[in-house]
Structure 1
């Protein structure tokens, strides 16, 4: 439920909050509903909102159009003179929107309309549902809301944000407990965070957590559905980080990691993903002494579970290098090893993910800083050694001059 606050006074809403009988706009109480009708302009919009599918659908469609316009504008230079690889048109025949590209594709590859990308994923997911292909097949297809089908890398920036709203508007009309709708919440929340709206994402995820707990019941921790709740808690912790609530993030991520670890063991992908999140929080909150051994232990496990070029593996190496670089007691050998790993990370981002990927610039910057810090420390050691040598020669000379 994206409309988590009262339309009149913006107060947080319970899932049982009253709503307009015609368009389903929600309020904290009857007084706010009456005031919004008489003074807030709802009287003029109510029929239009109903015609648009109700408050949630109307809101989702509106936000989607805004996000697509931003994405098209930001991609204009990159897509100039090209056509959509799905419909082969420069301008979408129905929506009249322009082209975007926000993945690792290069040249003429990966250029498309957001509407075409959304329709492609929607059809794939519907096929999985209609043919009962199972959760694994559906999840793989649903991930196309966030990953390019050509380069298999995650979308980023404005394109990722637009596809988050595309996913939500596609499934918002389904029943509250529908799995596709709940997954769409996750995709949209992730896109909100990456677009700088951590406050909006937190409101969404807090509602989602309440929904999961109501849906699974009081004994959810004893069931396999525990993973659904833990996944939303991971999202909430991410929001805490973006909002500067680092202590809350560390505490929540410790709890999630321990529960996954107890359930799956140390080499499971979910455990490693939760471990990466915890390691990042430790680094962000300056717990370098704890972060270094923790992340170093995860790196070889991640290479086996995810592969050397997976985002999670690269991020573990990156954050371990940051912890080594910033920890005042890191040895020169630790720093050299971290730099060697960072060099591999930068090469992989350049070759696999493309020059425009946001993490490439971050990794390059960290590598530059790490090399500079190591160079200064090595130069200081040389100076100290030279000074000690010179001091020793002076002492020896003094001893010789005093000899009879």
Structure 2
């Protein structure tokens, strides 16, 4: 995680907490700083300073660890392949192996994390140098989280490694710098992709506090609250997540109207929170209202539409009063979603994996009902 805790006692820190004058390691107070100095910081202080000071030093270290994990995880899939950017199997400088964490198939999409990061860094630097507009910056920023070939988001360990790559690239910029803030968000997303939810929560709380301190626009604050709700859900804090989701959805509805992509996304997130709390009828009512809008505006192949339809199928088989026809509709719907999602995103994508889990659940519930038995299912 980023350095939001005292290096000596691990207590949460304020954004303006005191720090070592040489390496910028932060502490609660002078007592903690002196204690840490005696316990070994004296020997590390110069090394951390030479590494760009505490936050940069930590980011570089975490990046190398994340790359090693990603390469090891992808080793079987990448065997005998070469990077589509540099055309080498091993990176010429870092000697790292290859990864692939997108929807590419066959021999496409293999790359070094270093090459992906350098590509994104160069594109953003060119945009800044040439004073390109906000739209151009946003388009180039996608290289930090999406494949340039299949245009799908990276997931899992590759997303985490790129999150650290992004953060280490922009961490040295001023707090109010746009790309530094985006990089913090990217890191939080990457940590969540690898189930490091406590660390992701810490990053997201830090980013939200920073954005409020800087007076960021309401839309940005709402998006960060949504990310915070993701972490709450992952940590089992479902009531806190639902409360945030409800407020964010209502705010987006007022800002953009029901057909905006962000509104539809937040509506689906709110429905999922209701499902997590087993408030099935409320979730079903909301989904019946928004699904036709999503299918009309986004199309049947869009990730948001697929998630909505998956969640609606859940409301059918989770309902204790569901009829056999309801359960059969749930199974048929999820079977269709699995085929679409596999074709669009590839079999390894988290959405596909989640839909496969829902398919097992729905089939189990249907068989049990047909046999006159009760069954408990696993949430995905």
TM-score, normalisation: structure 2: 0.94
The match for 1:250 among 217, 232, 242 is 242
Post-superposition, which runs of at least 4 consecutive aligned residues in structure 1 deviate over 4 A? none
Question: Is structure 2 residue 16 aligned with structure 1 residue 24?
Answer: no
**Residue of structure 1 in register with 2:35 after alignment:** 35
**Residue of structure 1 in register with 2:54 after alignment:** 55
1:204 Cα deviation (Å)? 1.3
1:300 Cα deviation (Å)? 2.1
Q: State which drifts further: 129-138 or 173-182.
A: 129-138
Secondary structure of the 1:183 match is helix
Q: Distance in 2 between matches of 1:67 and 1:74?
A: 11
**Residue of structure 2 in register with 1:322 after alignment:** 314
Secondary structure of the 1:11 match is coil
**Residue of structure 2 in register with 1:234 after alignment:** 226
Q: What do the CA deviations read for 1:361-393 (whole angstroms, capped 9, x no partner)?
A: 32123223323433444566xxxxxxxxxxxxx
**Residue of structure 1 in register with 2:335 after alignment:** 343
Trace 1:129-168 onto structure 2 (pairs within 5 A). 129-168=128-167
**Residue of structure 2 in register with 1:81 after alignment:** 80
Q: Distance in 2 between matches of 1:247 and 1:118?
A: 37
**How many equivalent residue pairs?**
373
**Residue of structure 2 in register with 1:215 after alignment:** 214
Residues 333 and 140 of structure 1: is their aligned pair in 2 closer, same or farther, counting only changes over 3 Å? farther
Secondary structure of the 1:75 match is helix
RMSD: 1.7
**Residue of structure 1 in register with 2:107 after alignment:** 108
Q: What do the CA deviations read for 1:174-221 (whole angstroms, capped 9, x no partner)?
A: 1101110111111110111121111111111111111111111xxx6x
Residues 133 and 307 of structure 1: is their aligned pair in 2 closer, same or farther, counting only changes over 3 Å? farther
Q: What do the CA deviations read for 1:102-152 (whole angstroms, capped 9, x no partner)?
A: 111112100000000011111112222222322122112212211111111
Residues 36 and 372 of structure 1: is their aligned pair in 2 closer, same or farther, counting only changes over 3 Å? closer
**Residue of structure 2 in register with 1:279 after alignment:** 271
Q: What do the CA deviations read for 1:68-92 (whole angstroms, capped 9, x no partner)?
A: 0010011111111111000001110
**Residue of structure 2 in register with 1:198 after alignment:** 197
Q: Distance in 2 between matches of 1:371 and 1:297?
A: 26
Q: Distance in 1 between matches of 2:239 and 2:50?
A: 45
**Residue of structure 2 in register with 1:261 after alignment:** 253
**Residue of structure 2 in register with 1:394 after alignment:** none
Q: Distance in 2 between matches of 1:127 and 1:298?
A: 40
1:337 Cα deviation (Å)? 3.4
1:167 Cα deviation (Å)? 0.7
**Residue of structure 2 in register with 1:401 after alignment:** none
Q: Tell which structure's C-alpha radius of gyration is larger.
A: 1
**Residue of structure 1 in register with 2:127 after alignment:** 128
